[in-house]
Amino acid sequence: MSLSEAGAPPQGPHANLPAQLIRVFVHGDGIYPDVVRARPGEILLRAENETLGDISLVVERLDPGQVPVNVKQIKTVNRGKRAQEELALGVGEYVYYEASRPEIRGKLIIEPPGR
Domains and CATH numbers, the chain: 16-110 (2.60.40.420)
Res 99 pLDDT > 50: yes
With bands split at pLDDT 50, 70 and 90, how would you rate the model's confidence at 16?
A: low
* pLDDT at residue 2 in the model: 36
Tell me which range, 6-15, 36-45, 106-115, is most confidently predicted by mean pLDDT: 36-45
* pLDDT at residue 114 in the model: 78
Compute CA 80 distance to the chain's CA centroid, rounded to the nearest angstrom.
19
Alpha carbons within 13 angstroms on the beta-carbon side of residue 81 total 0
In a 3-state reduction of DSSP, which class is residue 2? coil
* pLDDT at residue 83 in the model: 97
| pTM (two decimals) | 0.83
Sign of CA dihedral 36, 53, 87, 90: negative
Cα 61 from Cα 63, distance rounded (Å) = 7
Sign of CA dihedral 78, 82, 85, 90: positive
